[in-house]
Amino acid sequence: MRSSIGIKLGFWLALLGTLSTGLTGYYVYDRSRVMLVETAKDKLLNDTQGLGHRFADALAATASNVKLLANLPLSTDIASAKPNTELPIRKNQLAEIFVSLLNAHPEYSQIRLIDTRHYGKELVRVDRDRDTLKVIAEAQLQEKNHFPYVFETVPLPADQYYVSEINLNQELGAHQGFGKPTLRVAMPIKSTNFTIAVVVINVDLDGLFEQVRSNISDDIKLLLSNDRGDYLIHPDDAKTFGFESGRSFLIQDDIPDIKAILAGKQQHSAFATSDTQSLAASSLAAFVKLPLGSASSGRFVMLGLYTPLQNVLVESKALGVGVIEITLLFSLLASAISLLLARVLAKPLNSMTTAIGQFKLGAPLTGLPTHRNDEIGYLANSFMSMTEQLNSQIAELHASEAKLHAILDNAPVGIWLADLDRHFLFVNQTFCDALGLPEARFIANEQLAELFGAEIAARFLTADQECLAQADQPHQSLEQIKFADGKRHTIQITRTQLQDINKETVGIIGIAMDISDRQQAANRERAHNHVLELLSKGAALPEILQAVVLGVETQNPDLLCSILLLNSEGNRLFIGAAPRLPDFYNAAVDGLYIGPGVGSCGTAAYFGQRVIVEDIQNHTYWGPFTELAAQAGLGACWSEPIRGASGRLLGTFAIYQRHPAAPGAEDIQMIEQASHLAGIAIDRSRSNEELQLASLVYQNSSEAMAVTDAQGMIINVNPAFTELTGYALDEVIGKNHNILNSQRQGEQFYQAMWQAINSSGYWKGEIWNRRKNGEIFAEQLTINTIFSVDGLPQRRVALFSDITQKKQSEELIWNQANFDPLTGLPNRRMFHDRLDQEIKKAHRSGLQVALILLDLDRFKEVNDTLGHDMGDLLLKDASQRLLRCVRDSDTVARLGGDEFTVILGELEDADNVERVVNNILQRLVEPFQLKTKVAYISASIGITLYPKDAERIDALIKNADQAMYAAKHQGRNRYCYFTPSMQEAAQARMLIAEDLRNALETNQFEVYYQPVVELGSGAIHKAEALIRWQHPTRGTVSPAEFVHIAEDIGLIAEIGDWVFKQAASQVKQWRKRYHPDFQISVNKSPVQFYDGHSRDTWLEHLQTLELPGQSIVAEITEGLLLDASNVVKDQLLAFRDAGIQVSLDDFGTGYSSLAYLKKFDIDYLKIDQSFVGNLSPNSSDKVLCEAIIVMAHKLGMKVIAEGIETEQQRELLLESGCDYGQGYLFSKPLSAMKFEELLIRHGTSKSTASDLI
Amino acid sequence: MSIIAKRSATVLTYFLTIICLATSSWVYARETLRVLTWDGYADNEVVSAFEQRFDVAIELTLVTSDDDLWQKINSRSYDVFAVNTAELQRYIDQGLSRPIRMANIPNHAQQLQRFQDLQAIPGLVRQNDIYAVPYTYSEMGLIYNRKLVKTAPQSMSAMWDAAYRGRVLAFNTSNHSFSLVGLLMGVANPFRMTDPELEQATRELVRLRRNVLTFYATAEEATRLFAKYDIALIFGNYGTQQLKALREAGADIGYVIPREGALAWLDCWAITRNSQNPELAEKWINYTLEKAVSERLTQQHGLANTITASLNDSTQNKPIIWLEPILNPLARKTLWDRIISGEAPEAF
């Protein structure tokens, strides 16, 4: 049911009444509640303050009691009496007073008089004990000085009292206050301003509050806290004095509003609490702060009362109920009034609704309450005028529709309207006239098929449906319809949906426009464009020509066309395109020789003119072909010559008719257009073929090509160019060719090149250019110029290929031939070239050339000990150092191994040589860091000068070699200039060297033995083997003369081994014959140590001879140990393991490093003869010898003194403790035979030293 | 329906209601861990962080002396408590504590090397059961007021010095007080004093009582008294913690380890035998051994912790006497209560 206006109005009025009553009631209720709470709060605060006052009064009363006691003369007497004074009577009197006070105040639990001068000893004490009062006996009195109520009271001035903090009494004793909350009030008793005693009253807090609580009702709860907020009284016993039991319960945690009082900001406060807090929730609470004792102590307690809010609000609740009752009553009344009002209002409205319901268009409106003089009457009058207006507007609408009809009928397009069932509602006159059908036939709902035929009708239906399906845009379609004029016309039909005022589709509007002419022109245009498109795409010629032919044929389906092409000789025609002519006809015509009367085309080609044959069968040109034409069904042929752009004849274009016919103006235009198009196509196609061929060559050439304009701007490059230079076409186009410049050629080079190009247009040569990636490459370049017709350069074509590899190979070969691969220095060959050049230059300039030959000392050791890799590193480093010592123009070359040369050319001052050489020596002695190892070497340098020393290269080299040799023998790490005497010495050396090579084979060597005598006993168990060379012509050659040559030429090992073997077989004999421990020492050159073979030879040989190692002593020099490498160390260790002893020769003359004495196992020290020779008592040499001897003995070595010549020397040495001696005093070196004689002699005569001589 | 049936239905309804109320309140109540410990061992921040993390409530009770601790454990129930290694023994003896499952204390692995081997620390392990986990330690030296005491005292006997009468703060505890006197007397074992030794010590303690201002209970109380009175000497029961508190209050103090040796305590966490939630108690112990929590001991309260090595550990190279179990703690306690109550020397 619809709720009428009356009911709605009634409802809202009733609601309003109810709400206003309810809100007023609520306001009254709420105000009364607030007032009640405020009043209750004030009352509670009053109660709290009253309680506080009573508490304070009770304290004050206690204080006055304490004061009374303190001021009693009795108290002072007892307190000031001397200790141990018995005052039983007086004490009893005081106790009596205490008792009466305790009786009067049940809240007091203890009263004491305390002697503060004697550790706080209680003098009189009365306790409340189980409801009786007990005077404590003397023996049980305690000392209390250490309790705050004593030590805090003592300093107080007279008349000031002390109130303690409230805590649980933990003092032992028989009093009732033990374990109870206790407050102590105390006062000092003074004697001449000095506290002698204290009176203390203990107040039981619970008892106190029982008294002061008085009339406060039970539903009001009491809270008490100390100044920190700890509960002293709390409804929950567990929380009362929680701090005494280790728990922390604070009032400010339960009631946050309290903080202001605790902080001292307020003295009291009353408030309603929230319903969320744990204590006193939804309550009224009031708190006051109560000071304890003097204000200066700052001590206070906080007292509070709280009561639940619900207790306060009982009255307020009753008021609330009243308000609800009144509200209900009012709302009932309001509802009844509202219903009545609704009935009165609704009646006239109902009658008006009925009248309007019966209204019809055009008819006047009647039965409205227009007479009423209120809103309803106004409404009725408004309806009346509205219906009158409506009727007049409908009349105007009819007139306007007639106007529109006239316009539509006369529009130049066909227009119709159909409903959704395809019934025509309207067809305009234009459409009816075009089709020749009266409008009545459309409107009579004749079937579409009957009007347009079944095919068109079906398409109409489809188009209508599509139109209805697409709401947003008009639907367009094309249709071929035969008009009343009998022609088929192409019409474009636009359909749109016909919509009513609600945008709902109610039918279709169709508009048809005749577009036949326009479409024909478009077809022609399209055919033309198609041909041009094929041309531009570079399609094959037959395809294009076929398109030309089809274009004409499509527009005129009754025509047949052909294109014949003229051959290059210009005498025959071949089929270009004739798609619709019969094959047999085309086969017959193909290859036709042109000539007058050879059909239309043959004649047209021959004369170069259009030929029109209107009737083939009766035309002389077609005489030979009439039968063929008849067979092909051809009646007429119009032929037009095809010409190229240059006017050259290219072929013919022909149009055939099936029947004899003459061309109209349109036909002539068509034939001209077609032949022109064919001409363009043939021209273009032929030139494209030529271009493609050229481009193919260009693109596929392996030579890089670049085409530039006359100014060198790049126009085009081929793929080979891109591959070679790295530049793509679009990166270089428009750029100058010189972007490839490498700057390797100078300006002159380019000048010469351009000169050639400008004069002849051509240049060819090798050039260094730069790739895009920065790499330099060599190219073989040819540049050609293309000149324009007026002889000016138009284009330049650059052709080039990469010849870098070839160049590099050439360079590599040259480098390998001339440079040392390890150091990169010139090799011997290059050195010769340079030296040659320098000599020539010096010859011209008259200046000198210095040739320096340099050999690295001890390089072989580095190689042997650290390995060849390190050796190579050293050579590299050395060569760099050498290069840094000379000028750029000088040459440093490596001749091989560790041999270098330096050529200092064009010397103005020969002194410079010395400077350079000194520098070289200095640089080379600096340590070489070879990866992790360090090596030390030096150099020996020979210098010779051109032209002073020699003028020929080979002579200079030889000189330098000799000078270097001299430097080596002068002790290395130095240089020598070549001198003529050097040459002589060299020659002598050479001779000795040659002789040495023969000496071993020809047994020219002999081993001599010099005895080594035990100084103490004179016994001979040792000898030193010494080599002697009996040269056939030179006589005896001293070892000093030939040993170093033997070392140089590598013979020393062989000679050394020979000596060793001699000595070994000798010692074997002598051990057998003379002494089982006989021992021969053999000198061993450092060179032998580095020849690994030697060691093994010794040990094997000893084994073969079955000789123990002890039979041999190896004599070495200090120098060996000084640069001892592992090789030396290992060999010495191997000797030791085999039992071979080691003797250190010439001790004291060399480096005499004591460190190696410790490091190596040395068995004997041989004091050099230079010390022994100058030996005399008190001489420094004697001291030296003694020192050496002591030191050697301490190190576990024996000492042999060499070169003992006098008895005095022997004695002095013996005194000094020397172990053995050797020298002419005993014997010079002897041949084996003589030595044996000496032994025999010595064995028989048991000699003194002199006997030996 | 008979009257009886009706009545039993009513009873049943009440019963169900009560059950529902009881269980619902039980379901919604948070678990509570009752911790009994010393000031500074579990400050507010540490406690509330634990409460939040494990959604439990902590009921924290502080003790002020070993006597207090013994008294509390024997009168109420707790879950976990902090006790020194010596005192721990009587708790184990009396079956008041239970073994700890070290698997539940993974943070034990973080403790310093010397706290790793619990067997090596006397008193923690009994019959292969571990009863306590070390938490903090300190020695109890003598604090002196640099303004009043010009020369640093060498011995605890300075507390008896009449020159400082009424300016000495001693500590209110029975066990250390007697041990201290025992040390000064040179007894064989200050923790196992014979009756005559105790008797003599009692007299000495009465003498001490006569010389002190008072016996303090908490470090905070000592600091307050120091500020108010001219205190010359304080027995540093709380060790380094007390030093920090005093210095922060602006006191100019010195600290000495007396020549007779300072007593030292190693406080550990232990779990009570009747703990209602030993798992939670173990969680608590493990939690306090977290680096951040343990370091708070040092940073906030001046106490040593067992996780990070202290910079200047005062226990190094000084005469330190680690607490040992007291022979008869009850006897000492009884005597001490009498002493502190003020009984005259003649009474002993």
Q: What is the ipTM of this complex?
A: 0.81
Tell me the pairing of strands A194-204 and A181-191. Answer: antiparallel
Instruction: Reply yes or no on whether the pLDDT at A1090 is more than 80.
Output: no
Across A111-115, A348-352, A800-804, the highest mean pLDDT is recorded for: A111-115
* DSSP state letters, B177-194: HHHHHHHHHT-S-TTS--
Q: What is the mean pLDDT of residues B98-109?
A: 93
- Interface contact A151-B63, CB threshold 8 A: no
Fold classification of A522-693 is Beta-Lactamase (3.30.450)
- Interface contact A246-B209, CB threshold 8 A: no
Model confidence band, residue B65 (pLDDT cutoffs 50, 70, 90): confident
Q: Which residue has the tokens 């790499």?
A: A775
What is the count of residue pairs from A and B with beta carbons less than 8 Å apart?
A: 56
With an 8 Å Cβ cutoff, is A137 touching chain B?
no
Model confidence band, residue A1094 (pLDDT cutoffs 50, 70, 90): low
Task: Encode pLDDT of A563-605 as tens digits.
Answer: 999 988 889 999 988 888 999 999 888 988 998 888 888 899 8
Instruction: Reply yes or no on whether the pLDDT at A1250 is more than 80.
Output: no
Model confidence band, residue B311 (pLDDT cutoffs 50, 70, 90): low
Which residue, among A125, A143, A195, would best test binding to B if mutated, counting the most B CBs under 10 Å from its CB? A143
With an 8 Å Cβ cutoff, is A143 touching chain B?
yes
pLDDT at B167: 93
With an 8 Å Cβ cutoff, is B209 touching chain A?
yes
Model confidence band, residue A472 (pLDDT cutoffs 50, 70, 90): confident
Q: What is the mean pLDDT of residues A244-272?
A: 84
Taking Cα atoms as reference points, which of A662, A611, A601 lies closest to residue A635? A662
pLDDT at A663: 87
CA geometry: angle A632, A637, A639, nearest 5 deg: 130
Fold classification of A396-514 is Beta-Lactamase (3.30.450)
Task: Encode pLDDT of A1195-1213 as tens digits.
Answer: 889 999 999 999 989 999 9
Tell me the percentage of chain A whose pLDDT exceeds 70.
Answer: 97
Greater pLDDT, A456 or A445: A456
Q: How far, in Å, CA of B59 to CA of A1017, rounded?
A: 105
Q: Where are the domains of chain A?
A: 72-208, 396-514, 522-693, 701-808, 819-978, 992-1245
Instruction: Reply yes or no on whether the pLDDT at A523 is more than 70.
Output: yes
**Topology alike, domains A72-208 and A992-1245:** no
Which of A318-322, B89-93, B288-292 has the least mean pLDDT?
A318-322
Question: Chain A residue with minimal CA distance to B169?
Answer: A146
Residues of B in contact with A121 (CB under 8 A): 344
With an 8 Å Cβ cutoff, is B30 touching chain A?
no
End-to-end CA distance of chain B: 80
Count CB neighbours of A669 within 10 A.
11
Tell me the percentage of chain A whose pLDDT exceeds 90.
Answer: 18
With an 8 Å Cβ cutoff, is B61 touching chain A?
yes
Model confidence band, residue A542 (pLDDT cutoffs 50, 70, 90): confident
pLDDT at B27: 44
Instruction: Reply yes or no on whether the pLDDT at B317 is more than 70.
Output: no
Task: Encode pLDDT of B176-194 as tens digits.
Answer: 999 999 999 989 899 999 9
Instruction: Reply yes or no on whether the pLDDT at A753 is more than 50.
Output: yes
Task: Encode pLDDT of A626-664 as tens digits.
Answer: 888 889 889 899 999 999 888 888 999 999 998 888 888
pLDDT at A1152: 61
Task: Encode pLDDT of B248-303 as tens digits.
Answer: 888 889 989 898 889 999 999 999 999 999 999 999 999 999 999 999 988 888 88
Superfamily of domain A72-208 in CATH is: PAS domain (3.30.450.20)
pLDDT at A300: 87
Instruction: Reply yes or no on whether the pLDDT at A561 is more than 70.
Output: yes
pLDDT at B29: 62
Model confidence band, residue B55 (pLDDT cutoffs 50, 70, 90): very high
Question: Chain A residue with minimal CA distance to B165?
Answer: A119
With an 8 Å Cβ cutoff, is A395 touching chain B?
no
> A661 with A696: CB under 8 angstroms?
no
Question: Chain B residue with minimal CA distance to A119?
Answer: B210
Task: Encode pLDDT of A924-940 as tens digits.
Answer: 988 898 888 888 888 99
Instruction: Reply yes or no on whether the pLDDT at B11 is more than 60.
Output: no
- Interface contact B344-A143, CB threshold 8 A: yes
With an 8 Å Cβ cutoff, is A253 touching chain B?
no
Residues 6+ apart with CB under 8 A from A772: A725, A726, A727, A731
- Cis peptide, bond prior to residue A947, ω within 30 of zero: yes
Of B212, B341, B344, the CB nearest to A172: B341
pLDDT at A1123: 62
Residues of A in contact with B60 (CB under 8 A): 247-248
Instruction: Reply yes or no on whether the pLDDT at A533 is more than 80.
Output: yes
Q: What is the mean pLDDT of residues A964-982?
A: 83
A419 sits in the region (left: phi over 0; alpha: psi -120 to 50; else beta) called beta
> B267 with B83: CB under 8 angstroms?
yes
Residues of A in contact with B36 (CB under 8 A): 246
- Interface contact B68-A246, CB threshold 8 A: yes
- Interface contact A142-B344, CB threshold 8 A: yes
* DSSP state letters, A1051-1120: -HHHHHHHHHHHHHHHHHHHHHHT-TT-EEEEE--HHHHTSTHHHHHHHHHHHHTT--GGGEEEEEEHHH
Mean pLDDT, all residues of chain A: 85
Residues of B in contact with A119 (CB under 8 A): 209-210
With an 8 Å Cβ cutoff, is B155 touching chain A?
no
pLDDT at A883: 92
**Residue A341, token pair as written in the block:** 């009002």
- Interface contact A245-B72, CB threshold 8 A: yes
Fold classification of A819-978 is Alpha-Beta Plaits (3.30.70)
**Residue A720, token pair as written in the block:** 């080979």
Instruction: Reply yes or no on whether the pLDDT at A1124 is more than 70.
Output: no
Question: Chain B residue with minimal CA distance to A146?
Answer: B214
- Interface contact B342-A146, CB threshold 8 A: yes
Task: Encode pLDDT of B22-38 as tens digits.
Answer: 444 444 567 899 999 99
A889 sits in the region (left: phi over 0; alpha: psi -120 to 50; else beta) called alpha
Q: What is the mean pLDDT of residues A255-271?
A: 84
Model confidence band, residue B4 (pLDDT cutoffs 50, 70, 90): very low
Model confidence band, residue A1036 (pLDDT cutoffs 50, 70, 90): confident
- Interface contact B214-A146, CB threshold 8 A: yes
Of B62, B213, B337, the CB nearest to A146: B213
Its CATH architecture, for the domain A992-1245, is Alpha-Beta Barrel (3.20)
Residues of A in contact with B340 (CB under 8 A): 146
- Interface contact B213-A147, CB threshold 8 A: no
What distance in Å separates residue B316's CA from the closest CA in chain A?
33
Model confidence band, residue A504 (pLDDT cutoffs 50, 70, 90): confident
Task: Encode pLDDT of A277-295 as tens digits.
Answer: 777 778 888 999 888 877 7
Taking Cα atoms as reference points, which of B175, B206, B166, B333 lies closest to residue A148? B166
Q: What is the mean pLDDT of residues A701-727?
A: 88
What distance in Å separates residue B114's CA from the closest CA in chain A?
32
Superfamily of domain A701-808 in CATH is: PAS domain (3.30.450.20)
Q: How far, in Å, CA of A1063 to CA of A1081, rounded?
A: 8
Instruction: Reply yes or no on whether the pLDDT at A1035 is more than 60.
Output: yes
Residues of A in contact with B164 (CB under 8 A): none
Q: How far, in Å, CA of A279 to CA of A236, rounded?
A: 10
Task: Encode pLDDT of B142-156 as tens digits.
Answer: 999 998 888 889 899
Q: How far, in Å, CA of B255 to CA of B80, rounded?
A: 32
Instruction: Reply yes or no on whether the pLDDT at A347 is more than 80.
Output: no
pLDDT at A1: 41
Which of A796-800, A1240-1244, B117-121 has the least mean pLDDT?
A1240-1244
What are the DSSP E strand ranges found in A1186-1237?
1198-1201, 1220-1221, 1230-1231
Question: Chain B residue with minimal CA distance to A248?
Answer: B61
pLDDT at B267: 92
Q: What is the mean pLDDT of residues A892-914?
A: 87
Instruction: Reply yes or no on whether the pLDDT at A852 is more than 90.
Output: yes
- Interface contact B347-A146, CB threshold 8 A: no
> A760 with A778: CB under 8 angstroms?
no
Identify the H or E element spanning A478. Answer: strand A475-482
Residue A229 exposure: Cα atoms within 13 Å on the Cβ side: 18
With an 8 Å Cβ cutoff, is B38 touching chain A?
no
Count CB neighbours of B8 within 10 A.
12
